[in-house]
Structure 1
């Protein structure tokens, strides 16, 4: 069962928003000032119209001048609003860029174990839908909400100045709006988070079905996968129906509440004017101000719904940064890591002490593993399927953290190293390969950006890939949108990247399994020459790899049952000898 990536709390989201605001004080102040000036310009028209109504009985000789003033302020308001929108858009894009950069950094520092437990659907949904939702909110809802809020505050201030008594009738809608908003926003965050989670579940299921299409077809489980997809769609539909249901209750209530202040201001203001408490001009201006408030209030409340959606997406994006804490890894590297970094240069033995590991609580797949791999040693790990070989390889590469015990390199726990330091010490290569979109050269330079063509050629020759790479050219486009590399060439490209990355310790988990036996043998011999002096842990199913190793570790049922050189283990006549006899008999 997948373990979703963490989600930031509402408090963490608010703290992050405050930090973003403090990071751009001038831009924020400029945008707010422009919005305020635009709102002030919008107040002049109702005030002038109120004066015309007051003077209507005495004639209106100043109508042309008043009309020109109203037009001038309307134009000024439009220009200021446009300028404020441009300023807020620039600020929004800066903030959005920072959020995207942070998210990418957080994703790249996630421990692979965390990603594997979460599943690809959750991360893909956060990378696509949540980023898109946040971008839409930053570009649309945030400026709209800020504009509306500033306009509301300025207009309420103007109403208090024009006629303090006339400000009270418009408050009749406040209890209704407060109660409706409290009801809605008390439920909206959880509802939108649940809705986003169903998208992750749906994406996960579709991704698994597409990637495993051949397996689905071979096992004839298409109906089961279709049922899973239907179930996920139904869950997503139910979650979205719930959020839409909240809106269908909330929006009509606030729409109804809008009518009350206008009617109350007009009626109560009329009685005040009859009693001589306020002027007719004040009543007219106040009524127009209340009418003018309806648009901004509607925009603000509608934007708050979008802001809830954006807040949920932001919480999911920020939660990725907290995901590293799930496994105990330290993305940024601890102080101890920096302090002992120099020690790694002189002594890089890889040690496993008292290690147990479980994918599920109470079900250890590794038990009491003790192993020391000397600097420059070549160790082969063999054993039947399900013995725990690949799990041990992932612990040695720092992908998983042990449940008990410790895995150290040069005396330093792998969990004390930052991802950059860890990958500089230990690298894992499996049969799962990936060809990035770009050229062959681009795919290689990922491992060492500064490598020249001679170094690229050396790496390709070492894995037997130079012949086809020279034929296609280093600038040939591969991956999505380019030439599709067969699995064996993709694996050679992955091994060439490994050579360029030049880590001190390598964990090879069936790294040549996609090559035919003869090509695999030649590649392993070439790798052995290139990687001379490095520590290599080879998890092998082809026992010629064990034959060439300095030592062989035999795993059975999550334990190391035999450990020693090939010849010694064959002489013992134990499990390894039986494996060797079976293998030798077949070949």
Structure 2
């Protein structure tokens, strides 16, 4: 969100639909809260009348025996109010907690259903703030709505009873209702805008903080701690401005209410005094009228309830924005018998307004290996993401054994395609379970075998508890983490394996050892490998050479090596100076055509 941007529009239909779903999910508890609130309001409305009758009974000799009965009834109503308010507080807390948990679950499921593309619009920190903070505020919506409905019963009921006591009492109070309505309307309008901006700036700051935490080592090495702190806290003045504005609006509304409400009560009492002198009201009825006037002016409770609803609606608006992102749709088809033939047909992809792939036509025979090479920015990682449907192309289609990937059901797709990344995340708690994470259950024997293929078994056994060592308790190097990621990919059988720069942190010897498993020991799985080394490309059956977003050629490495432009892909950039430029050095073991 750009700071200082124009006022945002009111929440759209998606927000209102989502809020309806939230309230519907807690319909039973919401109904119970409404009933308790109405019962509490009824007790509050009966209480002034009971007290008035008790006073009249004490002042009238003929009704003196009734005074004790009215007093006992007043005590019973007081006990009922205490019990109802305690039950309401307990039910409000549990309803908010359960609804927040349901909201978080739904939001998390949708984020995972959208997939990696969710981060194209929302930063991880912003998503975290929505899942944690905004879900909690949204969880309070059912209780806030129920409380608002119940809070409206008391002033309306009090106004009705005032009118029944004497129409002039009701008329005196009705004179001030337009002022109360204007007060509430201004409060809702100003508070909605401030709360919405406040929550959005919170999300922006959370996103910046998470970015800095991810790059903590870079920040420390560059000595830019103060600069990062300033960058994270830069929106803080704007955040404080909207926070102070929210409190100012609340304080201004409370102050206006404090000025208006006593005047209304005084007006009702003045009219009541005149009616008392005219013998149209008793002393007890005048006492009851004063209490009903106070209940009818319960604007403070309404402001508080409206404030809760405004906060919940603003939070629901932010969650509805994420839910409006379309989830990745999956089909219902299963893969036919086959070994993993992969085809790109007319594939194009646009990222950040730039076409990174255009008119890509590539066919990878089943069981073969394809190295994807090209200079930085030519679309290699996008190619790898589209190959296993971590992303969808903007044009064209990708097929696996003749079936378009979008037509496959989710489980079938994820069992058929495995991935390994340059910076894999270790889930599962322990090292062993991190390797076993996947769509199917993997026995320990397979985990150990996969770790050996990825050259990870040796260092895993040196950990304090071996494969049962907690991931957070290990100080692993980048290369060791990559080997665990490779082991996870090797542990799950499938038709297609995609490696997106998954060996970039490995030394040449380790990469060569892993290559034996990657190129020859994966039971005929089709492999797509993003390659930066000529030795890696040389081991592949075919090379897809990307240049300017297009596939310039698909051929064996040996056939392409004769082209100077292809060899230049693997050469470091030359630095022009007065000295002669040395001949390019190739990786050992596979740099030449015969590699």
TM-score class, shorter: 0.7 to 0.9
Aligned mate of 1:358, from 350, 356, 359: 350
Q: Deviations over 1:558-585 (max 9, x none)?
A: 2222211122223x43433555794537
Trace 1:35-434 onto structure 2 (pairs within 5 A).
35-55=37-57, 57-59=59-61, 60-135=64-139, 137=140, 141=144, 144-145=147-148, 147-216=150-219, 224-294=227-297, 297-323=299-325, 325=326, 330-333=327-330, 337-338=331-332, 341-343=333-335, 346=338, 348-361=340-353, 363-415=354-406, 420-434=411-425
Alignment RMSD? 3.3
Distance (Å, rounded) in 1 between the aligned partners of 2:524 and 2:256: 75
Distance 1:19 1:222, change over 3 A: closer
CA-CA distance at 1:301 after TM superposition:
1.1
Q: For residue 584 of structure 1, give the secondary structure of its aligned residue in structure 2.
A: coil
CA-CA distance at 1:418 after TM superposition:
6.1
Q: Deviations over 1:463-492 (max 9, x none)?
A: 122223334335634344x33333222222
Distance 1:251 1:524, change over 3 A: farther
Distance (Å, rounded) in 2 between the aligned partners of 1:53 and 1:292: 19
Distance 1:51 1:316, change over 3 A: same
Provide the residue aligned with 1:492 in structure 2.
Answer: 483
Distance 1:129 1:162, change over 3 A: same
Distance 1:127 1:377, change over 3 A: same
Q: Deviations over 1:44-74 (max 9, x none)?
A: 3311221234345434454433322211221
CA-CA distance at 1:344 after TM superposition:
5.1
CA-CA distance at 1:206 after TM superposition:
2.5
Instruction: Tell whether the 8 Å contact from 2:205 to 2:233 is kept in structure 1 after alignment.
Output: no
Trace 1:526-541 onto structure 2 (pairs within 5 A).
526-541=517-532
CA-CA distance at 1:431 after TM superposition:
0.8
Instruction: Tell whether the 8 Å contact from 2:423 to 2:481 is kept in structure 1 after alignment.
Output: no
Aligned mate of 1:573, from 546, 559, 563: 563
Aligned mate of 1:549, from 531, 540, 543: 540
Stretch of structure 1 that moved more, 426-435 or 163-172: 163-172
CA-CA distance at 1:130 after TM superposition:
1.8
Provide the residue aligned with 2:577 in structure 1.
Answer: none
CA-CA distance at 1:285 after TM superposition:
1.4
Instruction: Tell whether the 8 Å contact from 2:159 to 2:173 is kept in structure 1 after alignment.
Output: no
Distance 1:530 1:254, change over 3 A: farther
Distance 1:237 1:20, change over 3 A: closer
Distance (Å, rounded) in 2 between the aligned partners of 1:260 and 1:475: 75
Instruction: Tell whether the 8 Å contact from 1:195 to 1:240 is kept in structure 2 after alignment.
Output: yes
Q: For residue 31 of structure 1, give the secondary structure of its aligned residue in structure 2.
A: helix
Q: For residue 438 of structure 1, give the secondary structure of its aligned residue in structure 2.
A: coil
Instruction: Tell whether the 8 Å contact from 1:96 to 1:138 is kept in structure 2 after alignment.
Output: no
Distance (Å, rounded) in 1 between the aligned partners of 2:33 and 2:56: 36
Q: How many residues align?
A: 569
Distance (Å, rounded) in 1 between the aligned partners of 2:300 and 2:75: 25
Distance (Å, rounded) in 2 between the aligned partners of 1:255 and 1:502: 72
Provide the residue aligned with 2:580 in structure 1.
Answer: none
CA-CA distance at 1:153 after TM superposition:
4.7
Distance (Å, rounded) in 1 between the aligned partners of 2:266 and 2:450: 80
Distance 1:317 1:144, change over 3 A: same
Q: Deviations over 1:101-139 (max 9, x none)?
A: 21221122122123144222211221232234345x359
Q: Deviations over 1:31-55 (max 9, x none)?
A: 3223322332233331122123434
Provide the residue aligned with 1:436 in structure 2.
Answer: 427
Instruction: Tell whether the 8 Å contact from 1:448 to 1:500 is kept in structure 2 after alignment.
Output: no
Q: For residue 118 of structure 1, give the secondary structure of its aligned residue in structure 2.
A: coil
Q: For residue 334 of structure 2, give the secondary structure of its aligned residue in structure 1.
A: helix
- In structure 2, list runs of 5 or more residues that go unmatched: 3-7, 572-583, 590-595
Q: Normalising to structure 2: TM-score of the pair?
A: 0.85
CA-CA distance at 1:378 after TM superposition:
0.8
Provide the residue aligned with 2:576 in structure 1.
Answer: none
CA-CA distance at 1:541 after TM superposition:
1.0
Which one has the bigger helix percentage?
A: 1
Asked if 1:468 corresponds to 2:471, the answer is: no
CA-CA distance at 1:25 after TM superposition:
4.4
Distance (Å, rounded) in 2 between the aligned partners of 1:209 and 1:23: 38
Asked if 1:525 corresponds to 2:516, the answer is: yes
Distance (Å, rounded) in 1 between the aligned partners of 2:375 and 2:278: 98
Q: Deviations over 1:12-45 (max 9, x none)?
A: 3333333344445444333322332233223333
Instruction: Tell whether the 8 Å contact from 1:387 to 1:557 is kept in structure 2 after alignment.
Output: yes
CA-CA distance at 1:280 after TM superposition:
4.3
CA-CA distance at 1:530 after TM superposition:
4.3
Provide the residue aligned with 2:574 in structure 1.
Answer: none
Q: Normalising to structure 1: TM-score of the pair?
A: 0.86
